């Protein structure tokens, strides 16, 4: 569900923050290395939005940043306001039913609480596609901890590489990611919507698992979101992992050093990029 987390990141940029700030967190996110005689590719699992207080640039990660000739992320670096504008343009459609009518009757009361956490009036959600409303509501979980795009791992890495003049590239575009959500059935989109309402502490759980580098907990934090809609995992995770692992495999044939930083959920589990690279015969070593 890391694609959905990235959408939440876009939605977060639309929202004001509230609540008290958390205590500092010393994070040690998972880091892998794929290496042969003349090529090194580091794989860093990221969170796209983070509180200012999270410190994640460990010596191992700093060595990867310093050693890499190129940064590769999911989408190109862009200002939060630009990401918000692209999200807002893709999020709305004409002729949609009210958001409350798209929920099971036993979840409608919880909608008010979720909207309050996200800082959104209910009527602002009515014109949103179901996946977009889910992203906007899901942002409430990270909003409570003051997590923002500009403190997210990708934004920090983009600045590090810009400062040194090293090139950056992306595996996808933001518009392309949003288009994936439009391919989901309405049933699958409503599963996302219900999960966003139910998982009020979802971001906090993911942040804790990511900070500890606990890939099993990362998988456990996202798997419940796929229940009832098998096309969610295929479209948002498995198919993309297949494309990305193919790109990494091809890149290993050229000399150089590359840091690939993608959502942590894409690097955890038996259908992850890491697992797919190993299945292709590459040696993937976890170094943090």
Contact at 8 Å (CB) between 246 and 29?
no
Amino acid 201: pLDDT: 82
What beta strand segments (E) does 183-280 contain?
Answer: 256-263
Q: Check pLDDT > 70 for residue 11.
A: no
Q: Which domain holds residue 165?
A: 2-286
Q: Is the pLDDT of residue 9 over 70?
A: no
The rounded percent of the chain whose pLDDT value lies above 70 is 92
Is residue 206 classed exposed, middle or buried when 0-12, 13-18 and 19+ CB atoms within 10 A define those classes?
buried
pLDDT value at position 226? 79
Q: In this predicted model, what pLDDT tens digit does every residue of 93-127 receive, in sequence order?
A: 999 999 999 999 999 889 999 999 899 999 999 99
Q: What pTM was estimated for this model as a whole?
A: 0.89
SS3 55: strand
**Is 152 a residue whose pLDDT tops 80?**
yes
d(C-alpha 177, C-alpha 135), whole Å: 13
Q: How many domains does the chain have?
A: 1
The mean per-residue pLDDT over the stretch 164-188 comes to: 95
Instruction: Name which residue leads in pLDDT, 80 or 243.
Output: 243
Over residues 254-272, the mean pLDDT reads: 97
Residue with the bigger pLDDT between 201 and 287: it is 287
The structure tokens listed for 96 are 């949609």
pLDDT of residue 143: 85
CA 198 to chain centre: 19
Phi, psi of 184 (to 5 degrees): -70, 145
Residue 79's pLDDT is what? 80
């Amino acid at each position: 569900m890391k694609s959905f987390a990235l959408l939440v990141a876009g939605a977060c940029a639309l929202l004001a923050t509230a609540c008290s700030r958390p205590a500092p967190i010393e994070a040690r996110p998972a880091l892998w290395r794929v290496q042969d005689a003349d090529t090194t590719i580091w794989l860093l699992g990221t969170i796209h939005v983070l509180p200012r207080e999270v410190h994640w640039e460990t010596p191992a990660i700093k060595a990867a940043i310093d050693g890499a000739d190129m940064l590769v992320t999911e989408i190109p670096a862009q200002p939060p306001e630009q990401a918000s504008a692209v999200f807002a343009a893709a999020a709305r459609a004409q002729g949609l039913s009210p958001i409350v009518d798209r929920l099971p009757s036993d979840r409608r009361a919880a909608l008010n609480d979720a909207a309050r956490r996200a800082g959104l009036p209910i009527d602002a959600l009515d014109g949103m596609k179901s996946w977009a409303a889910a992203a906007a509501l899901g942002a409430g979980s990270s909003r409570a901890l003051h997590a923002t795009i500009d403190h997210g791992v990708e934004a920090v890495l983009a600045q590090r590489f810009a400062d040194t003049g090293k090139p950056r590239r992306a595996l996808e575009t933001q518009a392309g990611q949003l288009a994936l959500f439009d391919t989901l059935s309405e049933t699958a989109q409503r599963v996302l919507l219900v999960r966003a309402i139910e998982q009020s502490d979802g971001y906090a759980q993911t942040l804790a698992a990511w900070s500890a580098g606990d890939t099993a907990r990362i998988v456990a934090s996202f798997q419940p979101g796929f229940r009832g809609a098998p096309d969610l995992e295929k479209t948002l995770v498995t198919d993309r992992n297949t494309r990305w692992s193919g790109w990494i495999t091809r890149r290993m044939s050229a000399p150089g050093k590359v840091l690939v930083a993608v959502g942590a959920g894409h690097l955890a589990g038996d259908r992850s990029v890491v697992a797919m690279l190993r299945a292709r015969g590459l040696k993937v070593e976890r170094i943090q």
